[in-house]
Structure 1
């Protein structure tokens, strides 16, 4: 039985830019490391696998992203502008306490909203942005305490 979600893996070309983006949102860099050797080859089923990994976590310690840059084999390109309704993993959503402040900070760093900030009934405000390399990052602010 599943006990918890350990992390979500995200493959990027510019590991430093991806780390800077998520740390800029308030995530904490837990560490970086090169990963290679027979153990990872056997786990993944690819001989000669070499990658660099950065693990970032949410401030509460419950959510993690494993940011990965592959050195061998070279990462396969996919559409970084894929729409939110494309097949596959499309977005990561973070809960925030001040969505307007997050949006202001993102805009100051040149990040644009994909749509707009929208309030759903009296419960949440949401928005989507494109992070580094087309990663869709969503934010939700809870407006009232839910039961």
Structure 2
């Protein structure tokens, strides 16, 4: 068996319309803003294949410091596709899942920021309480509360 060469997963990225609208939502969820930066130029476009680009990014980090969410707002080139209204079974669809404490309270807080349940809150056996919500800008987020021995 070949040993994996992966060291860690650094982050998951989501393209957004407005960092200023999305950052407060993820802060309310419990992430911290680790930093904000502008990435631009031909060198960056060589990585993404987009050519000359200008992107503002915000790196959000979970309270444990192990997981990061990179939010990107493209100023150049303009966004050409929007997958937010696609059903969750669409190929390539993005969803981020967070484990939370007191899922009902989290959903209540996030609903004040425009979040809506996608389906309904369900309990999986005696293990988890789960739901999907559409957050600010329609971003799909999964929430899970571990039940029993935490």
TM-score (structure 1 length as normaliser)? 0.92
In 2, Cα distance between the equivalents of 1:94 and 1:133? 18
> Helix, strand or coil for the counterpart of 2:7?
coil
Query: Could you say which residue in structure 2 is the equivalent of 1:103?
Result: 107
User: Deviation per CA, 1:32-72, whole angstroms, max 9, x where unpaired?
Assistant: 11101233122223321110000001111111110001111
TM-score (structure 2 length as normaliser)? 0.90
Query: Could you say which residue in structure 2 is the equivalent of 1:130?
Result: 134
Query: Could you say which residue in structure 1 is the equivalent of 2:124?
Result: 120
Counterpart mapping for 1:28-107 below 5 A: 28-107=32-111
Query: Could you say which residue in structure 2 is the equivalent of 1:2?
Result: 6
Q: Which runs of 5+ in 1 are unaligned?
A: none
1:139 aligns with 2:143: yes
Q: Which runs of 5+ in 2 are unaligned?
A: none
CA RMSD of aligned residues (A): 1.5
Residue-pair matches, total: 146
